[in-house]
Chains A and B, each alone.
Chain A
Amino acid sequence: DTGVSQDPRHKITKRGQNVTFRCDPISEHNRLYWYRQTLGQGPEFLTYFQNEAQLEKSRLLSDRFSAERPKGSFSTLEIQRTEQGDSAMYLCASIFHSPHTDTQYFGPGTRLTVL
């Protein structure tokens, strides 16, 4: 257990429905990242937050995706009007960013299946 938790661990939804995932990072960590991982691939960067500010978004993050970190602690990732291609593992990671370390600690992920 890295100290990063994600909820739910599994989500099955029908195409067109909205889903929301939650990530609770390690409490003193100032950066939080979201990744998507499909079978046989490495994690793909989606977006990251420095405290409550969303500083970078990948072009993978279509307008159906939105992420928030309202108080600089937990974060949510919402997918609207889900499509079958959204089926993947969604991973959250956090770090305490400093000039000396950028070690990411990953949560267990949320596996999304869109039927």
Chain B
Amino acid sequence: GENVGLHLPTLSVQEGDNSIINCAYSNSASDYFIWYKQESGKGPQFIIDIRSNMDKRQGQRVTVLLNKTVKHLSLQIAATQPGDSAVYFCAETGNYGQNFVFGPGTRLSVLP
């Protein structure tokens, strides 16, 4: 929605550089993890997901890494573009997708 991420931590990167956004999740029983992108005035948009039986998954320009030992999730964006500027949320769920818990979010700002 409007003013999404008003007080969120911000990651600023130069256009063309790689971005890494991190997330610590809370529930060791979670077995499915998702990254979302949210632009102002819009709902969250699915980027990439990963199940707990994997530690890495790649999409187009994006890679998600999962470290279950320390309950850490990261999103890597290659060759960051101005259109990548948004707030990024990680989400976790267990129990067959009944309750999705979202992290606090990180604002990505791409500098020209």
Using a CB–CB cutoff of 8 Å, the interface residues on chain A facing chain B are: 2, 4, 31, 33, 37, 39-45, 48, 55-56, 58, 89, 91, 93, 95, 97, 101-109, 111
Q: Mark B60-97, 1 if CB is under 8 A from A, else 0.
A: 00000000000000000000000000000101010011
Closest to B98 in A: A56
Residue of A31, A42, A91, A106 with highest tally of chain B CB at under 10 A? A42
In the complex formed, the residue of B with least CB distance to A43 is: B102
> 26 pairs across A/B with beta carbons < 8 Å?
A4-B43, A31-B97, A40-B5, A40-B6, A40-B105, A41-B105, A42-B105, A44-B102, A56-B98, A58-B99, A89-B1, A93-B44, A95-B97, A101-B49, A102-B32, A102-B34, A103-B46, A103-B49, A104-B34, A104-B44, A104-B46, A106-B43, A106-B44, A106-B45, A109-B1, A109-B43
With the chains together, A45 CA to B102 CA distance in Å? 8
CA of A31 to CA of B98, assembled, Å: 9
Taking CB atoms, residues of chain A closer than 8 Å to B3 are 39
**In the complex, how many angstroms separate the beta carbon of A42 from the nearest chain B beta carbon?**
3
B24: interface (CB < 8 Å):
no
Q: A40-B6, A102-B97 are in contact. Are A108 and B43 (CB under 8 A)?
A: yes
Instruction: Quote the shortest CB–CB distance from A92 to chain B (angstroms).
Output: 8
- Report B's interface with A, CB cutoff 8 A: 1-8, 32, 34, 36, 41-46, 49, 89, 91, 93, 96-105
Q: How many inter-chain contacts with C-beta < 8 Å in the A-B complex?
A: 73
Determine the chain B residues whose CB is within 8 A of the CB of A55 once the complex forms: 98
CA distance A112 to B61 in the complex (A): 35
Write the nearest CB–CB distance from A111 to chain B, whole angstroms.
5
What residue in chain A is nearest B1 (Cβ atoms)? A89
B contact residues around A95 at 8 Å (CB): 97
> A33 near B43 (CB under 8 angstroms)?
no
CA distance A78 to B97 in the complex (A): 24
Residues on B with C-beta less than 8 A from A39 are: 3-4, 6-7
Are A105 and B93 in contact (CB-based, < 8 A)?
A: no
